[in-house]
Amino acid sequence: MVWENTAKYNLQKIQKMQNRAARIITGSSYDVSTTDLMRQLKWQTLEDRRGNKKALLMHKVKNGTAPDLIKNLFDICDNQNYSLRSNLNHFKLDKPKRNFMKKSISYSGAKFWNDLKNDLRSETTKCKV
């Protein structure tokens, strides 16, 4: 998750290293699909892993089990005037003043959580990541 806010170019370089490692481990040539290699090794792409880690972190924030330093970055919607089901389990999402702030965990984590389907947000079991 630490690498998530780096440039897209850097994320691609890191993913290419994982792909290369998969080829070395399996002894595969470059004409074999990396998707097939990942499935064979039961590996997730780094993007999927970052998403899962972010979901787990936001689940901990929502349930109060994240460290205070992290929990204090987020505010839960408690709009008493509008008890819409779509607002349940949402975090307040203030528009960032600078574009680079969209990559911060306080914005991207809240947006990620709010964009999840209601049944995933209301899931009370902890996922293994």
What average pLDDT does range 72-92 have in this prediction? 68
Q: Are residues 82 and 129 in the same domain?
A: yes
Q: Are residues 111 and 73 in the same domain?
A: yes
Q: Are residues 26 and 59 in the same domain?
A: no
Q: Are residues 69 and 24 in the same domain?
A: no
Instruction: Please tell me the distance from the alpha carbon of residue 91 to that of residue 114, in angstroms, as a whole number.
Output: 7
Q: Are residues 57 and 23 in the same domain?
A: no
Q: Specify the pTM.
A: 0.75
Q: Are residues 72 and 117 in the same domain?
A: yes
Q: Residue 104: which pLDDT band, with cuts at 50, 70 and 90?
A: confident
Residues 70-79: tens digit of each pLDDT:
999 998 876 5
Q: How many folded domains does the chain comprise?
A: 2
Instruction: Give the pLDDT score at 48.
Output: 92
Instruction: Please tell me the distance from the alpha carbon of residue 78 to that of residue 58, in angstroms, as a whole number.
Output: 17
Q: Are residues 13 and 68 in the same domain?
A: no
Q: Is the pLDDT of residue 88 over 50?
A: yes
Q: 71 lies in which domain range?
A: 45-129
Instruction: Give the pLDDT score at 85.
Output: 52
- The answer to whether the CB of 77 falls within 8 A of the CB of 93 is no
